[in-house]
Amino acid sequence: SAVISQKPSRDICQRGTSLTIQCQVDSQVTMMFWYRQQPGQSLTLIATANQGSEATYESGFVIDKFPISRPNLTFSTLTVSNMSPEDSSIYLCSALTHATNEKLFFGSGTQLSVL
Amino acid sequence: RKEVEQDPGPFNVPEGATVAFNCTYSNSASQSFFWYRQDCRKEPKLLMSVYSSGNEDGRFTAQLNRASQYISLLIRDSKLSDSATYLCSTTSGTYKYIFGTGTRLKVLA
């Protein structure tokens, strides 16, 4: 399976600040995604990270709050902007790669706590 | 109605028992189905794909019932190490994966 490196693994942030999460995949990537998992909840897709163009956001998520970059095929960042306690969650990078036969694999996640 | 629904559990079973989970999906156009395992504070990991004819991987058997729109996961001879949350997932559109909230399994010694 592909190795997906995500960092930071956790952070505690102050209200109103922003945090950028990085995701690096070790093999040729078909698609990259960002999910959020709040306590006791299912994984919710935030957006599809598109290489060289704006990400495709799901209903309820907007670019101003969750700007995403994907400058090349194997790297993406998600920024959680102007954070509030409601943004406390686990954020997960995921990817489909040829190495994984186009099945979805996840990074180890970023545990974000906003005070 | 949620697109993918699961009984949250927990299912508490003794070691060696057989346990089964179901997962219902609402989109009749869903084409691909998967079971993921998630340990506490860890990322989900793919357990197995679910094929139309059903498939088995060791102690794990997955089945798909398109008529009733559900998938199932059967675990035989449960081990303590099987304790985890099991997430079902379907693809809606080409690559968009939709997940259930997961079913917690606790295997007791």
Mean pLDDT of A2-18: 94
- The verdict on A12 touching B (C-beta cutoff 8 Å) is no
Min Cα separation B45/chain A (Å): 7
Q: Where are the alpha helices (DSSP H) in A22-94?
A: none
Residues pairing with B17 in the sheet: none
DSSP E strands, A1-115: 4-7, 10-13, 19-25, 29-37, 43-49, 56-57, 68-72, 75-80, 89-97, 104-106, 110-114
Render pLDDT for A14-53 as a digit per residue (tens, 0 to 9): 999 999 999 999 887 888 999 999 988 889 999 999 998 8
CA distance linking residue B33 with residue A68, whole number of Å: 28
The per-residue pLDDT for A1 is 65
Distances (CA, A) of A103 to A59, B2, B3, B17: 23, 23, 20, 30
Decide if pLDDT at A59 tops 80: yes
Cβ-based neighbours of B34, under 8 Å, separated by 6 or more: A103, A104, B46, B47, B48, B49, B50, B88, B89, B90, B97
Min Cα separation A43/chain B (Å): 6
Mean pLDDT of all residues in chain A? 92
Min Cα separation A55/chain B (Å): 14
Mean pLDDT of A70-95: 95
Contact in structure between A94 and A104 (CB atoms under 8 Å): yes
Q: A10 by DSSP, 3-state: which?
A: strand
Mean pLDDT of A83-100: 90
CA distance linking residue B8 with residue B101, whole number of Å: 7
Mean pLDDT of A78-85: 97
Mean pLDDT of A89-103: 84
CA distance linking residue B62 with residue B73, whole number of Å: 5
Q: A99 by DSSP, 3-state: which?
A: helix
Q: Report chain B residues whose CB lies below 8 A from the CB of A96.
A: 95
Decide if pLDDT at B1 tops 80: no
Nearest to B97 by CA among A25, A12, A64, A92: A92
Decide if pLDDT at A2 tops 80: no
The per-residue pLDDT for B100 is 94
Judge: A109–B43 Cβ closer than 8 Å, yes or no: yes
**Percentage, residues of chain B above pLDDT 90:** 80
Render pLDDT for B45-89 as a digit per residue (tens, 0 to 9): 999 999 888 899 999 999 999 999 999 999 999 999 999 999 999
Cβ-based neighbours of A10, under 8 Å, separated by 6 or more: A110, A111, A112, A113
Q: What is the band of B92 on the pLDDT scale with cuts at 50, 70, 90?
A: confident
Q: What is the band of A99 on the pLDDT scale with cuts at 50, 70, 90?
A: low
